[in-house]
Amino acid sequence: MVQGQQFRQSFRVTDKVYNGFIQISGDNNPLHTNEAFAMSKGFRGRVMHGNILNCFVSFFIGECLPIKNVIIHAQSIKYALPVYLDDELEFVAEIEGYYESVHTYEFKFYFKNADGKKVAKGEVQIGVI
Amino acid sequence: MVQGQQFRQSFRVTDKVYNGFIQISGDNNPLHTNEAFAMSKGFRGRVMHGNILNCFVSFFIGECLPIKNVIIHAQSIKYALPVYLDDELEFVAEIEGYYESVHTYEFKFYFKNADGKKVAKGEVQIGVI
């Protein structure tokens, strides 16, 4: 893993992911669960929980790197556009830096929807354990 | 909701939450699923996924505020200590600022374990919709 290296992964916010997220989080906020409420706020349907994307970030760090001995130290995300049920997202991450003395990698990432628009971007810092 | 206002909420990383998180994220990294691997890295058991805490943040914003018409704009978290299965966590959040012109609140938060130690801290910015 070297600076500038890119990784790509597809994710879909399926019914299983959406309903599973509600079950484990308990977050039934009407923006996420009430179509009429979400539309009254200017969205075209129920807005998926932003933290579903953080579940995808967890998968990326835990499962998609060439090494498995890693742990997340810190992460951040900014949401730019709503994500809807069944949206197909392309996740792109890039190694921003490697700090050898502390065995730490920093990634920046974004999620793009099927229209090619960035729906979220963020950073995640991991340690090699 | 005013600056300095605090909110508290208890969360427990139950088996249901842990297994549900693995199902929706697909993150079976051995640190989270293999006791022997986790112990070989100096932990006393499987380390819970950090993003389980972000699921709790989702619940806090979506369900625990006096208003429901909110959306997360951005959030960040730093992990300080491992969280284990069945850990009882106390979540404490405080309103750091309210920006009336853009209908935005900023919270800082932390999670404390049963030993009174901070396991994670972070910030979340929400908009009123």
Nearest chain B residue to A62 by CA distance is B29
Is the CB of residue B24 less than 8 Å away from at least one CB of chain A? yes
Which helix (H) or strand (E) segment holds residue A98: the answer is strand A88-99
Q: Which of residues 69-128 of A touch B (CB under 8 A)?
A: 69-79
Beta strands across the sheet bearing A6-12: A6-12, A88-99, A104-112, A118-128, A70-79, B70-79, B118-128, B104-112, B88-99, B6-12
Note the ipTM here.
0.97
User: Is the Cβ pair B71, A17 closer than 8 Å?
Assistant: no
The CATH number of the structural domain formed by B6-128 is 3.10.129.10
Calculate the alpha carbon distances from A104 to A3, A97, B74 in Å: 12, 8, 23
Nearest chain A residue to B48 by CA distance is A71
Mean pLDDT of chain A, nearest integer: 97
- Closest by Cα among B113, B129, B114, B121 to B96: B121
Instruction: Return the domain boundaries, chain A.
Output: 6-128
> What pLDDT shows up at residue A71?
98
Is the CB of residue B10 less than 8 Å away from at least one CB of chain A? no
Percent share of chain A, pLDDT over 90: 99
- Report DSSP state, residue A116: S
DSSP codes, B38-105: HHHTT-SSPBPPHHHHHHHHHHHHHHSSS---EEEEEEEEEE-S--BTT-EEEEEEEEEEEEGGGTEE
Name the residue facing B72 among A58, A71, A79 (closest C-beta): A79
> What pLDDT shows up at residue B50?
98
Is the CB of residue A61 less than 8 Å away from at least one CB of chain B? yes
As a whole number, mean pLDDT of residues A38-62 equals 98
Name the residue facing B29 among A28, A30, A62 (closest C-beta): A62
As a whole number, mean pLDDT of residues A49-72 equals 98
Give 10-residue mean pLDDT values along chain B (129 residues).
Answer: 96 98 98 98 98 98 98 98 98 96 96 98 98
> What pLDDT shows up at residue A3?
95
> What pLDDT shows up at residue A95?
98
> What pLDDT shows up at residue A110?
98
Name the residue facing B26 among A24, A31, A63 (closest C-beta): A63
Instruction: Characterize the bridge pairing of strands B70-79 and A88-99.
Output: unpaired
- With 0.95 as the threshold, say if the pTM is over it: yes
